[in-house]
Chains A and B, each alone.
Chain A
Amino acid sequence: MLDLDLTRREFLQTSGTVLMGTIATSSGILSMLAPSQTWALELTKLDKSTGHALLLATRQILPHDTLDDAVYALVVKDLDSAAASDDAVAKLLTDGVAQLNADAGGDWSGASSDKQAAVIEKMAGNDFFEKIRGTAIVSLYNNEMAWAHFGYEGDAWKHGGYLKRGFDDLNWLPDPPADASPSAYAAE
C-alpha cells in the first residue's frame, strides 16, 4: 500500500516542511498541489521500514481515514529530521518501533489495523508515543495539503483578503441588522 521508494526526486515545499519526492494520489485536491502522481519520502537517518512503521503509528494516533499518506509522510519527515540532529531521538524512535514490532507479535507494519490500535493504546503517554503525537499535532496540520483536505484557506493576503472572497457569505442564517453589523467600507 505504501511505497517509500523514491520514484522521482522533486521537492514539495510546504510551510516549514519539505517532502522529498512528489505527491500523489487518490484525491484530486492533492494531485493539484503535487507535481506528479507518485511520491516518495527520502529519509536521512531512519531506515525505510522504521519510517514506514512510524507512518502507520501516526495514522493510528491521529486517524483521518481519508487524509492521504502523503500528509502523514510529512510527520515522518519531521521525525527523521529530529532523529538526524539528535541521537537520543533516533534511539527513542528505533527502540519504539522495535517495541511496536514486539507488541504486534513480530510485524507491526503487517498487523491488522485492530491489532495496531491495541498496541498503540498500550503505549499511549510514553515518551515514544508523545514524540510522535507532539510532532504530528503540528506537522500533520501545518501544510498546504492538509489545509486543502480540511478546507482551510489560510493566507488571503495575496488575494486582497477575504473582503471580496466570502468573509460574510454564510447564508443559512439570517443576516444581522446593520446596527449590530454595519456594511463593509469598501463595499459601500
Chain B
Amino acid sequence: MAKYDLNDDGVVVVVGSGAGGGTLANELCQKGIQVVLLEAGKRESNESFVNDEWSSFGQISWLDSRSSSGTWRVGKDFNGLPAWICKTVGGSTTHWAGASLRFQEHEFRVKTEYGDIDGANMLDWPLTLKDLEPYYAKAEDKMGVTRTNDVPGLPGNNNFKVMYAGAKKLGYKHCHTGRMAINSKPRDGRGACLQLGFCFQGCKTGAKWSTLVTEIPKAEKTGKLDLRPESHVLKIEQDKSGKVTGVIYADADGNQHMQKARAICVAGNSIETPRLLLNSENSHSPDGLANSSGQVGKNYMRHMTGSVYAAFEKPVHMWRGTTMAGIITDESINDPKRGFVGGYEMETLSIGLPFMAAFLDPGAWGKDFTRKMDTYSHMAGMWLVGEDLPQETNAVTLHSENKDQHGMPTPNVHFDDHENDIAMRNHAYKQGSAIYDAAGAKENYLVPPYPSTHNLGTCRMSADAKDGVCNAHGQTHDISNLFISDGSQFTTGAAENPTLTIVTLAIRQADYIAKQLSEKAI
C-alpha cells in the first residue's frame, strides 16, 4: 500500500470509501493516479462481521449524533437516527442488500416527463440513459450483477416463493429473483452465496459485492492507494484563487492533520457530503463550498418507502437466505392514472426477530403488537421503494448548537413527505397487501419507513449552475478541482435502488478526472 506525505499536493483525496468513494478510488488507482482515501470508520473484514443484528448495527453503523425535523414519521420514531447508513471501510456497501437496477430512460428527465409539480423542485438530469449505458455495463460487470453478463439469477428463497405466488395470481408479469450484486456462482475471486440471510450485516462469505471486498483490495494491489481508516474529514481548505487545496481530518486519537491535494472528491453519503461543504465555509465561500446556487444540502431525497409483512397459516422462515433477492417491477412505470407520478419497486425483504421488534410498529406496545410479533416465523415480507420528489425545503443543514466529538456542527435532516409520496405509498401498501392476500395471507402489516437507507440529491447535478451544485461529471460548478462522488449528485431519485447508478457515475467520473488531470485542466 502506498503512503503519501501530508504535504504531497499531487494526490487526489477521496473522502469516504463507500459505493461512490471506494469505486472512484479504485478506478483512479487503476489509471495510475495517486489516491489518498480518507474514511471515518474502521476496517472490518468477513471474519469480523457478526451475524447478529444489533451487534452488527453497533459495529458498522454511523452513530455520530444527528437530528431530524419535519413531518415524516422517521422524524418521530427515530429522531436521532434519520438515516441507517455506515461508518466503516466500504461504507454502506457493507450493509446493502445488493439490488442493482438501472434507471429507466424517462427517469433522467422527470421535469419534462412529469411536468412541474407544486412543492417540488423538478429538474432534468444533465445526462441521459444513453450517456450512462456503457458505464452501467461496466458497473454490472464489476459488481457481478445477476441476470447481466450471463451471470445466473439467485435461487429463490421461501420469502420469494410467497411473493411470486401472489404476484402471479394478481397478474403481475415481471417477478424474479432480482438483479443482485451477489455471486450466484463463484466469480471474481469470491465464492457463491451460501444463503446466510445476513446480507445487511456485512456478508461473511464475501459473495456480496462491497467496496470492502472488491474495489479497495484491487486498488491496494496497484500500489497507488493510501487508505486511511478512522480519518474523519472536518473541513476542506480553499485558497484565494478559489481552488481547494487540501482537507483537515481527525485521526483515531482525535489529532488533526492537513492533507494537501490536487483534487478532492467528496463521497460521504448525502448527509455528510453537504455537511462537509457547509462546514467548510470561508471568506471566499461564506455560504459553504460550491454553494453559489444555494442548493448544497437542499433537495434531500430518501425514496418513498414502506414495507408490507404478512402472516400466513403455515411457516415461511423468511430470514433464511438472501435478504432481498426477489422483485416485482410492474409498478415501476410512470402511470399518473394511479394518482401519482413516478413508480415503485416491490422487493422481498426479511429482517430478523430483533429488528422486527424495533421496526414493525415503532412505539407500539400491548397485546395487538405482541400478537403480531407472535406470527414472526409465519411472516413473509416485502419492501416498497419508489421515486420521491425533490423538494427544496427537504434539507440537510448544520445544527446551530450541537457539535460532534470533533467539535463539528452536527447535521439536521429535515423532511416532509410530498403528497405524491403519500399517494404512492398508499398505492404500494394496497398492492403489496393484495399480493399477500392472493397468496393466502391471514393478515397484512403495513410497516412505516425505516431510517433512510437511500440518501440522495443534496448536491445535485444540473446543466445550469444556478439550479444545482455540480455538472454531469460531478465536478462542482464553482470549484473545478472539487467533485461530488456519491448519491448526493442525483438530480432526482428514480424508482430504483441507487447504488448501481452511484457506481456507474463513479466509473464515469474517474475517466473525466483522469482526462482533466492529464490535460492539466485541474
Contacts and interface: CB of A to CB of B under 8 A. Distances in A.
Interface in B347-387: 352-354, 356-358, 365-367, 369-370, 373-374, 376-377
Contact of B161 (A151, A156, A161, A170): A170
A184 B353 CA distance: 26
Contacts of B370: 62-64
B154 interface: yes
B194 interface: yes
Given A155-B51, A161-B194, A170-B316, A176 B358 contact: no
Contacts of B205: 161
Contact of A172 (B314, B353, B373, B374): B314
A175 interface: yes
B157 interface: yes
Contact of B357 (A141, A153, A168, A174): A141
B396 interface: no
B184 interface: yes
B161 A152 contact: no
Contacts of A187: 155
A133 B353 CA distance: 16
A163 interface: yes
Contacts of B193: 161, 163
B55 interface: yes
A137 B51 CA distance: 19
A114 interface: no
B183 to A, nearest CB: 8
A61 interface: yes
B155 A152 contact: no
A170 B162 contact: yes
A28 interface: no
Most B CB contacts (10 A, CB to CB) among A15, A62, A147, A182 go to A182
Contact of B155 (A157, A161, A181): A181
Nearest to A64: B370
Contacts of B175: 176, 180
Contact of A62 (B186, B316, B353, B365): B365
A137 B352 contact: no
Interface residues of A, number: 47
B344 interface: no
Nearest to A141: B357
Contacts of A182: 152-155, 177, 184
Nearest to B362: A137
B353 A150 contact: yes
A99 interface: no
B177 A124 contact: no
Contact of B177 (A154, A170, A181, A186): A181
Given A61-B366, A63-B366, A141-B357, A160 B194 contact: yes
B52 A155 contact: yes
A183 interface: yes
A97 interface: no
Contacts of B196: 156-157, 161-162
A64 to B, nearest CB: 5
A152 B158 contact: no
B195 interface: yes
Q: Is the interface of A mostly helix, strand, loop or mixed?
A: loop
Contacts of B374: 64, 150
Contacts of B115: none
B192 interface: yes
Contact of B54 (A138, A157, A173): A138
A154 to B, nearest CB: 6
Nearest to B164: A176
A173 B438 CA distance: 11
B70 interface: no
Interface in B159-190: 160-162, 164-165, 175-177, 184-186
B377 A166 contact: no
B161 A173 contact: yes
Given A167-B320, A168-B321, A173-B162, A15 B55 contact: yes
B441 to A, nearest CB: 12
Contact of B369 (A62, A166, A183): A62
Interface in B289-322: 313-317, 319-321
B152 to A, nearest CB: 5
A173 B185 CA distance: 26
A162 B165 contact: no
Given A141-B354, A151-B315, A161 B365 contact: no
B320 A185 contact: no
Contacts of B243: none
Contact of B204 (A61, A147, A157, A173): A157
A142 B205 CA distance: 24
A86 interface: no
Interface string A2-28: 000000000000011000000000000
Contact of B156 (A63, A133, A176): A176
Given A137-B358, A180-B176, A173 B165 contact: yes
Given A161-B194, A168-B155, A150 B51 contact: no
A165 interface: yes
B365 A133 contact: yes
B365 A181 contact: no
A160 B196 CA distance: 8
Contacts of B213: none
B197 to A, nearest CB: 6
B152 A138 contact: no
A54 interface: no
A29 B258 CA distance: 58
A56 interface: no
Contacts of B314: 170, 172
Nearest to B316: A170
B198 interface: yes
Interface of B: 51-55, 152-158, 160-162, 164-165, 175-177, 184-186, 192-198, 204-205, 313-317, 319-321, 352-354, 356-358, 365-367, 369-370, 373-374, 376-377, 439-440
5 contacts: A15-B55, A61-B366, A62-B366, A150-B376, A154-B352
Given A152-B376, A170-B162, A174-B165, 4 more contacts: A64-B370, A151-B376, A154-B51, A167-B158
